[in-house]
Amino acid sequence: MRLIASVLTGFVALSHLGFLVLEMFFWDHPVGRKIFAMTPEVSAASATLAKNQGLYNGFLAALLIWGLATGRRDVTVFGLACVVIAGVFGAITAKPSILFTQALPGLLALVAVLLAPRGGR
């Protein structure tokens, strides 16, 4: 179960690194406009906000990577709880599909971490 928890947490961390790249570097670019179904005007007007959002996603990824790299269960649980809360909030306020792209993977990883046995065995 610990391996599953680590793999799921790693997937969530990589997803958030991907969100960082998309939001900070490709938002106002044809790739970002296609992924987020935006016009050039909308992407240009919201690019600064997207960069800020991307930075937050980077911090979430860093928190999860820190938890995985150090074996700190408390850090990993906190990071995954933040991911789930951010995903639910995003689904309510921005786009319902965020519930499935962010909150659900975070929740699955969180449950796996909580169910995994503790210790170095």
Q: Is 28 helix (H, G, I), strand (E, B) or coil?
A: coil
Question: What mean pLDDT is reported for the chain?
Answer: 96
Query: pLDDT per residue over 21-36, tens digit each?
Result: 999 999 999 999 999 9
pTM above 0.75, yes or no: yes
pLDDT band of residue 100 (cuts 50, 70, 90) is: very high
Tokens 């699955």 sit on residue: 108
pLDDT (0 to 100) of residue 120 = 56
Amino acid at 104: L
Q: Any idea which residue has 């995903």 for tokens?
A: 87
Q: Which two tokens stand for residue 61?
A: 């990824």
